[in-house]
Each structure stands twice: as C-alpha cells, then as structure tokens.
Structure 1
C-alpha cells in the first residue's frame, strides 16, 4: 500500500500511508449480491416458463447485462479503491490515484498550515473520518474522506509538522 521507494527523494521516509476505509466497498458489494441474486432468479424463472431457445437467448442477454453491471458498479470501484493512496512522508503529502492513467497531488509539508479531522456518526461506527489538509496554495485544502483511524493519522502528521518546524527553526 505504501508509495514505492523509487518515488521518494533521498532522505525521505514514509510517516503514514493509507487508503480509504473498506466501508467504501459496501455499496459495490451490495450491487454484486443483488446482481447475482437477480441472475439466479432470472435463470430459474426462464427454465420454468420460457421455451429452451428463447431461454438461452434471454439468458445470454441477461448474463451480458449482469457482467456489465458488475464491471461498472463493482469492479471499477474496487480498482479505484485499490489504486488510490494517501501518503505523508517527512517532507510532503502525496495523494495518488488512477487505474490506467495516474493522477497525483503533492503538497510539501512546509506549505501545510493545518491538518484537521471530522468524524460523523456513521464514521464513528466504522472507525474512520475525514482528514482535511490545509495549505497555502490557491486550492486551499484537500479533503480526504473515509480515512481509517483518522485521529491517529492526524496526530502522527501533526507531530511530523511540528518536527519539521523545529528542524527549520534550528537551521537543520
């Protein structure tokens, strides 16, 4: 899950690396269950009610449609979840995503002015929350939703920000 070491600069190390909480996959999982149940029910109904040739054609059409639904609403979200990571190093914040085409955002730690978190009622049940990284850029802030153990992540990042400010005050 961590960012590849070839993407880190000399002397840079990972402080926190994470992805969104697996709760993001609940919806896609439910879609998979519903589609599989619908295919089974359709298959049973077709066997009982429709003639063999028509049942075969309808079964193939249903199978293709089910495959497309599973690919779009289950596999694609799973691949997005697997390929999206959020990493704090001792020098920067890195958000990377993308299945085929990659997208990334990097914010140097010395430009980050604050790291806050929000935990809603549902988030509390799942042990996750939203991390808000505020920086001095024109974009202003990055909201990273559904981060597992968000309070602990925020503490680690705040400590690293403090260590970075102490190092820069010492001239190191």
Structure 2
C-alpha cells in the first residue's frame, strides 16, 4: 500500500457552520413561548436538522476513501460500500483537473482512464499534484523493468 486518502476536508466547513447556527438558534428558541411542549418541539426539530445537515454529510465524507497500491487504485464510497477498482496495468492515462477553489487548496480531481471502461474519478483529492505524479511514476515502472 502506498497511500490511503479521503476527499479534501474543506467539504466539512459548511456542515460545521450549519451546526453552530443550529445550536445557537435552538438555544435562542428554548423557553421563548409559553406553550408547554414548545421546548420538546424545538429540541426535536434541532436534532433532526443536525442529523440531516451535519451528521449525514460527515458520514458521507468518512465513507469515501481512495487507496493506492503498487498494483491497483481502489475507490470506496457510499453507505452501501460501493467499490470500484482498477489494475494499474490496465490504466492508459492519469489526468489532473482543478476547478474553482481546488487550486487554492492544492486539491483536484484525478481521472484514471483505462480505455474500455469509463474513467474512475477520484474527486477532490488533497495534494492532487503529488497523487498525479505518484500514479504516473507507478505507470512507468513496469515499462522500465521489461
């Protein structure tokens, strides 16, 4: 195994800000109305919103993982454990694509194409240029050994 990475953690900035806002709003709304079940309704609504807007994005980020070995590239994602794998001896091209803020954060999308199948997109990889360079070096090694 060479490396195991997750997508860039900047995708968790918005859920973190939402968590802070929901916490502040929930605490602000507690005890504001004289209706007896008001506090329970506010806490339940706050809990549901935190689960949907904060916990699920975090779990989705945690469930996505890219693994690079000397023989293959593996992408694992989703709550159901979707797995895509490509052998390095079948790879024809590795492309680096950067959009928007990816350039500033030194991340990017690495496309691993095999010719026959559709390319595997490793989305928002941190240190994308390093990953791109390492994959290109791995692709060149077997040609030099022959």
User: Which of 64, 76, 93 is equivalent to 2:73?
Assistant: 93
User: Which of 122, 134, 151 is equivalent to 2:113?
Assistant: 134
The structure that has the greater radius of gyration is 1
Cα distance, 1:142 vs structure 2 = 1.8
Partner residue in 1 for 2:144 = 166
* Distance change in 2, residues 1:97/1:121 (3 Å): closer
Q: Secondary structure at the match of 1:126?
A: coil
Instruction: List aligned pairs for 1:1-172, cutoff 5 A.
Output: 14-43=1-30, 46=32, 50-51=33-34, 54=35, 56-99=36-79, 101-138=80-117, 140-167=118-145, 170=146
In structure 1, how many angstroms separate the alpha carbons of the residues matched to 2:73 and 2:93? Answer: 12
Unaligned runs of 5+ in 1: 1-13
Cα distance, 1:16 vs structure 2 = 2.6
Cα distance, 1:70 vs structure 2 = 0.9
What whole-Å deviation, never above 9, does each CA across 1:53-86 have from its counterpart, x for those lacking one? x1x4111111111111111111111112112111
TM-score by length of 2: 0.91
Q: CA RMSD in A?
A: 1.5
Q: Quick check: 1:15–1:157 contact (8 Å CA) kept in 2?
A: no
What whole-Å deviation, never above 9, does each CA across 1:7-52 have from its counterpart, x for those lacking one? xxxxxxx1232110001111211221221121122126x1xxx32x
Cα distance, 1:96 vs structure 2 = 0.8
User: Of Structure 1 and Structure 2, which has the larger fraction of its residues in helix?
Assistant: 1
